[in-house]
Amino acid sequence: MTYRELLITGAATGLLSRLVAEAATGERLLRSSGEGPRREAVRAEANTFRRARHLESGEDLRVWLTARGLTLEEFDQYISRCVARAGAELDGLGAGGELGAQGGELTAKLLFGELACSGAWRAFADTAVRLFAAERLSLDAGPNGPRPEPGQSQTDGAKPVRPLAEVVQVLRPFGAFDPAWCQERLEVLQSRAGMLEGAECQIRASEAVAVRLGDSRMDWALFRYDELRLRSQAAALEALSCARSDGLLAGEIARRAGSELTALRARRQELPPGHVALLDGAAQDEAVGPVEHEGGFSVLWLRERSRPDVGDPEMVERAVSELLSEALGRAANGAVREIGQL
């Protein structure tokens, strides 16, 4: 699959138009601001970007950018757009607001930088692989696979791809795309979307969903807890002593420590490893810890621990999503490999 095919996949599913709108908003915000975003905020965002991709040194970052045809200046511009957008969202402005810009005002170079740095290429590729795997899954199932009802086509009921005119419009900044080729690719994508819909419906109606719900009751347990983050282990131990020995409430301990108590909610499998063992064994409203984290230590108060209900729609959707992803992964196994930078 070529980058052009990834672009039309993004355009057909609406992912590309969202990226163009976000890039346009960021660029307009930068143009309208004489000084631009604060350099401290830009550096902080750049550090977050690098940590997420394990780019520990400046040389690591340069190699990553060079592999994608980007310069440090273009990286700085991307990070500046991110910071500008984040500030605009805090002020109640978004890509659809008055600060939005038309995609035609953006250069292809800027947009390719946005694609590479934002992770959009990966998102497009993941979407394309899911659709391709759905087609393989449908073909492998043969006569036993999901079939449309009489009078329906394979694509009936599937989420429609974007119209040809809209796709051609959003692709315009990236160069010339033959409308006939685009129409052909859209028909393929719509067909695969129908097959993906069929595979999901088949899984939803299977007994595998109930089995997965039963097998996952432990990992999908829901924890509601409060977290108090402190700078040192000594401060965390003092907070624990205040809770256990003196019977002080979490809010009062937070006030005395000059910190904030944060209410959190997470499934067991989503919890940081250090939290799991402590919260698994905690009684309701019990303070546990300390837990080390980047920048200090935490004390936790368990508020509620509940097993998932097999009839809970959220849990059913989670089970269906997991089973579908596993089926698609098996279908794509050995048939897809990455040969370019994403």
CB pairs under 8 A, 24+ apart, for 84-91?
A: 84/26, 84/29, 84/30, 84/33, 84/36, 84/37, 85/22, 85/25, 85/26, 85/29, 86/45, 87/29, 87/37, 87/41, 88/25, 88/29
Give dist(CA 27, CA 29) in Å, integer: 5
Give dist(CA 304, CA 95) in Å, integer: 38
- The structural domains of the chain, ordered by start, are 3-123 (no CATH), 124-211+322-332 (no CATH), 222-306 (3.10.50.40)
Helices (H), 53-100: 58-67, 72-90
CB pairs under 8 A, 24+ apart, for 238-244?
A: 239/287, 239/289, 239/299, 240/287, 240/288, 240/289, 240/290, 240/299, 243/287, 243/299, 243/301, 244/287
Bridge partners of residue 297, in order along the sequence: 230, 292
How high is the pLDDT of residue 144? 56
How high is the pLDDT of residue 87? 76
Closest CA to 78 of 68, 90, 93: 68
Q: How far is CA 146 from CA 201, 206, 329, in A?
A: 8, 12, 18
pLDDT digits (tens), the chain, 342 positions = 788 999 999 999 999 999 999 999 999 988 887 777 888 999 999 999 999 999 999 999 999 999 999 999 999 999 999 999 887 765 554 444 443 444 446 888 999 999 999 999 999 999 999 999 999 988 887 655 554 444 444 444 456 789 999 999 999 988 889 999 999 999 999 999 999 999 999 999 999 998 988 888 788 888 999 999 999 999 999 999 999 999 999 999 999 999 999 999 998 888 888 888 899 889 999 999 999 887 789 999 999 988 877 777 888 998 999 999 999 999 988 877 776 676
How high is the pLDDT of residue 304? 92
Give dist(CA 21, CA 45) in Å, integer: 20
How high is the pLDDT of residue 101? 45
How high is the pLDDT of residue 2? 86
Determine how many CB atoms are found less than 10 A away from the CB of residue 210: 12
